Structure 1
Amino acid sequence: MASLLTTFFSHYLLLFLLLIFAIVLPSRCANATQKEFLSSYHTVDVRSLLPSDACSSSKALLEGSDEQRLNLVHQHGPCSPLHRKKNLSHEQILSNDQSRVDWLHQRISSSTSKQQDKLLDSLGSATIPARSGNSLSTGNYIVSIGIGTPKRDFSVVFDTGSDVTWIQCKPCVSHCYPQQDPLFDPLQSSTYANISCKSPYCSQRRCSGSGCLYSVQYGDGSYTVGFYAQDTLTLTPSNVIPNFRFGCGENNSGLFGLAAGLLGLGRAMTSLVSQSYQMYGGVFSYCIPPSASSMGYLSFGSSSAMTNVKYTPMLAKPNTPSFYYLNLVAISVGGQQLSIPPSVFSTAGTIIDSGTVITRLPPDAYSALRTAFKQNMAGYKSAPGGSLLDTCYDFTGNKSITIPTVELHFDGSVTAKMDASGILYFISISQACLAFAGNNDTNRMAILGNTQQRTFNVVYDVSKKMIGFSPGGC
């Protein structure tokens, strides 16, 4: 009898366990499948990716605000203090972006010293024709800084690919492009001084009877020429840098989007990063907002916001010491790593640049990315592309869309998972394109542009030679 009861209960227990497994396991598998799907795809409201006429600040930005931060805004968006009567078209934006990329590639492959000598010879004359070059006028972001005593506020483009900070100054000897802020007048600042020809800061520069000269020329022919000077730089009320060396431009040409000049955040000795090293230890960070209608930040020095940052080595090359190099080693789409030989990335090298709009990849890497993205987007209607962006979609009639994740993998086991706003470039609801492009030469360096950097807290630590990423910065 006991044996029969034992057998009965054993069978009953077995059936009970099988029933539990039949209920629980499919549920767990479904949850696992759902989590895998959510981690490999973005489902977003189409309207959230379209431009807006209203300026907004994200919750993350408001919660993380402090006195160290400068507001960072798209210079043509509703948050910008610059008010253009007419913004450039997307065709112009992308064309100008290519001009900047060509300039960056040129800086690596050749010297620009002869062009700069010609520019320096032009100061005090009108020998340089006014040009409509505008490689810095679009796709870039601006901050407000103070120059002089008493300080005057100026909206300037922030640029990790340039070193010399400069603003337009009175008197404009032969030409100044239109800007919104009044020109800086050195005579109105009690702390302004031209740097003398005998100064060690002028050892690599040209001189005139009035002092040290500087010149910068960009890839499309736009330029700035003037006196190398020093004055008080005010970033925030609690962040003031005396004797900051900058270019006081008296001969300038280019459509710089009504900005007064440029804030150079490169690695050379003339950059703000180097000049403020004693104050901030070579550390700065920024967050590029998800759209032109929202705000990000630029911050100097270490902060509590850097606790969750994952770092990859910051590299350098002797012939281009200004640029921030890093090792891109792989790309994933929809959670699947693409079959791209590591040599594809190592041959070209990679820099991160705040002024480039669209990320450029080696031809083979871009081809693999495009193929995988198209496969994942097969359910959407395709749209015509352009000269730069060739993988586009028509989302007319879609309230929400589901797009595959794109992840960039860097040396040091660092993965940067793009925000949805960093994957597609919206020209219109009927033409949204994959925001990547391929270089036309396998030897040309890859460039991580500002679209793919959106919403990341991007940290540069020059002293430790590291570049870091953490999501949800703004």
Structure 2
Amino acid sequence: MVAKSRGIPLTTLLLILFLSAIVPTSLSDQVLNSKNPRPSSSASSLGSSVAFQIKGNVYPLGYYTVSLAIGNPPKVYDLDIDTGSDLTWVQCDAPCQGCTIPRNRLYKPNGNLVKCGDPLCKAIQSAPNHHCAGPNEQCDYEVEYADQGSSLGVLLRDNIPLKFTNGSLARPILAFGCGYDQKHVGHNPSASTAGVLGLGNGKTSILSQLHSLGLIRNVVGHCLSERGGGFLFFGDQLVPQSGVVWTPLLQSSSTQHYKTGPADLFFDRKPTSVKGLQLIFDSGSSYTYFNSKAHKALVNLVTNDLRGKPLSRATEDSSLPICWRGPKPFKSLHDVTSNFKPLLLSFTKSKNSLLQLPPEAYLIVTKHGNVCLGILDGTEIGLGNTNIIGDISLQDKLVIYDNEKQQIGWASANCDRSSNS
């Protein structure tokens, strides 16, 4: 959800496994289930990463989540992972509108409100319509997302216990939002999560706060499985030393998004009229969005290529705007991908920086057995000329957002948490 305003080595065995297969099926199990953690109160001893198991999928859920413990004693919240926004928020235990569904996942403030004079409050209230009556007043926030969803609430701080991959434990006190007025719209269903884990590079993100405390490198990465699940990590310990395609992040004075480009679109390895796209990598968006001109060109390419193939438009399927039916319902993508050509994005300012998009990275099979195009027209939902690379195109790729080197990287990967998950 694009917000508008939306290392130290592992053991030798783990490192060899990681570099030999980018992301082996057993890696996240070993990281997430490390035993006998060593408590530590020294930030300097925590030079590793924090890893989380991911749940969810592109379809039919429409989001990926991690569980984050907050408070003392800690309470666990399932949060939508979102590299397209900064602020993390959870549903507040207060009178609310558009409350998130899990009523047993409410956060109750306890005198831990952030004041208006706090630097993080100034960062979240940078928009001209936010004003504080005085430095000792509570810090209110409002985040509006590109799909017209939003969250309104108050900023506070609390313990967020974390277990690092080197076995150390920490209980940093971090700022996040307590939301009491939520709005859910767009192609995603109403959120059944307790809130959003903002992973952007602004000052209010959990990532930036952990980095400012000296606990991690300012790096975040995720691996989303096409079959559902995957893993997320903070810090640079799980970044492979080779095999990653890197491209620089574009600097922008108005947004804190992970924006790259320009990139040209290839269809079946042949150049197209779609050139010079600037792209935002956004794990909070289920689908990929192109501006109207680029989207129309892509639809024409796909439609023309399907001529003579046993597919016809399924206008009665409202799962996504453009769907096709076959002679009989499709049970999986593997039944239909041979009818579609691979796409490729070539980043023209980066040598050999190619983002491969096989049919699995832009198609879904619906509950009706039809196949739908998962690259949507962003202009139709108010994105203007903004182009977004969403979850559907990030599946089975290790994606790394390196804020220290100002670059984003990706590599093909097996993102399953384990071979028997």
TM-score of the superposition, structure 2-length normalised? Answer: 0.72
- Aligned CA distance change for structure 1 residues 341 and 444 (closer, same or farther; 3 Å): closer
Q: 2:265, 2:274 within 8 Å by CA — same for their partners in 1?
A: no
Which residue does 2:254 correspond to in 1? 319
Whether the aligned pair in 2 keeps the contact of 1:395 and 1:432 (CA below 8 Å) is no
Count of aligned positions: 345
Q: Distance in 1 between matches of 2:85 and 2:313?
A: 36
Q: Deviations over 1:64-113 (max 9, x none)?
A: 44143211121798xxxxxxxxxxxx7xxxxxxxxxxxxxxxxxxxxxxx
Report the equivalent of 1:139. 62
What letter is aligned with 1:465?
Answer: Q
Find the residue that maps to 1:327 and give its secondary structure: strand
Structure number having the greater helix percentage: 1
Is contact 1:395–1:430 with CA below 8 Å preserved after alignment? no
SS in 2 for 1:211: coil
d(CA) in 2 for partners of 1:327, 1:473: 26
Amino acid at match of 2:219: V
Q: State the match for 1:465 in structure 2.
A: 406
**Secondary structure of residue in 2 paired with 1:170:** coil
Map 1:220-231 to 2 at 5 A: 222-231=149-158
Task: Give the match for residue 108 of structure 1.
Answer: none
Take 1:178 and 1:170, find their aligned partners in 2: how far apart are those partners?
13
1:296 corresponds to: 230
- Deviation, structure 1 residue 429: 6.0
Q: Which residue of 1 is the match for residue 342 of structure 2?
A: 405
Q: Which residue does the alignment assign to 2:26?
A: 62
Judging changes above 3 Å, is the alpha-carbon distance between structure 1 residues 447 and 203 closer, same or farther for their aligned structure 2 residues?
closer
Q: Could you say which residue in structure 2 is the equivalent of 1:394?
A: 326
Hey, what does 1:195 align to over in structure 2?
Answer: 114
Q: Equivalent residue of 1:452, what SS?
A: helix
Q: How does 1:200-239 map to 2 (within 5 A)?
A: 200-203=119-122, 205=125, 206=132, 211-218=138-145, 222-236=149-163, 238=168
Contact 2:62 2:286 in 1 (8 A): yes
Match for residue 362 of structure 1?
291
Maintained 8 Å contact 1:289/1:295:
yes
Does the C-alpha gap of structure 1 residues 382 and 239 become closer, same or farther in structure 2, counting only changes over 3 Å?
farther
Deviations 1:414-439 (A, max 9, x none): 11222442131212464202322344
Q: Does 1:244 align with 2:174?
A: yes
Report the equivalent of 2:223: 287
Report the Cα distance in structure 1 between the residues aligned to 2:230 and 2:80, rounded to whole angstroms.
14
Q: Deviations over 1:161-201 (max 9, x none)?
A: 111111123343677443254322334xxxx7222334333
1:275 is aligned to 2:209: yes
The Cα RMSD (Å) is 3.1
* Match of residue 313, structure 2, among 380, 383, 386: 383
Q: Return the offset for 1:375.
A: 4.7
- Aligned with 2:360: secondary structure? helix
5+ residue gaps, structure 1? 1-58, 78-89, 91-137
2:411 is aligned with what amino acid?
A: S
Which of 1 and 2 has higher RCO (CA within 8 Å, sep 6+)? Answer: 2
For residue 73 of structure 1, the aligned residue among 51, 55, 63 is 55
In structure 2, relative to structure 1, the CA distance for the partners of 1:174 and 1:280 (3 Å cut) is same
The alignment's TM-score, normalised by the length of structure 1, stands at 0.64
Cα drift, residue 241 of structure 1: 4.9
In the TM superposition, residue 285 of structure 1 has moved relative to its aligned partner by 0.4
Aligned residue among 428, 431, 442 for 2:370:
431
Percent of pairs identical after alignment? 24
**Which of the numbers 244, 252, 263 marks the counterpart of 1:309?**
244
Q: Which residue of 2 aligns with 1:451?
A: 392
Secondary structure at the counterpart of residue 298 of structure 2 = helix
Q: Where does the alignment leave 5 or more consecutive residues of structure 2 unmatched?
A: 1-22, 33-49, 126-131, 416-421
Query: Alignment partner of 2:396: what SS?
Result: coil
Tell me the distance in 2 between the aligned counterparts of 1:400 and 1:175. 39
SS state at 2:251 partner: strand
AA of the residue aligned to 2:345? L
2:26 maps to a residue whose letter is L
- Asked if 2 retains the 8 angstrom alpha-carbon contact of 1:370 and 1:391, the reply is no
Check if 1:150 corresponds to 2:73: yes
Cα–Cα, structure 1 residues 371 and 64, in superposed 2: closer, same or farther, change >3 Å? same
1:223–1:362 distance in 2 versus 1, CA, 3 Å = closer
Q: Report the structure number with the largest CA radius of gyration.
A: 1
Return the letter of the residue paired with 1:257: A
Contact 2:100 2:191 in 1 (8 A): no
Alignment of 1:151-166 (within 5 A): 151-166=74-89
Shift of 1:357: 2.3
For the Cα contact (< 8 Å) 1:207–1:213, is it kept in 2? no
Give the C-alpha shift of residue 370 in structure 1.
3.1
1:259 to 180, 193, 197: 193
- For the 8 Å contact 2:219–2:236, the answer to whether it is kept is yes
- Secondary structure at the aligned position of 1:311 is classed as strand
2:90 maps to 1:172: no
Q: Report the Cα offset of residue 145 of structure 1.
A: 0.2
The DSSP-based 3-state class of the residue aligned with 2:161 is: strand
Note closer, same or farther for the CA distance 1:239–1:396 as it changes in structure 2 (3 Å cut).
Answer: farther
What is the aligned counterpart of 1:422 among 361, 364, 369?
Answer: 361
| Residue aligned with 2:26, SS | helix
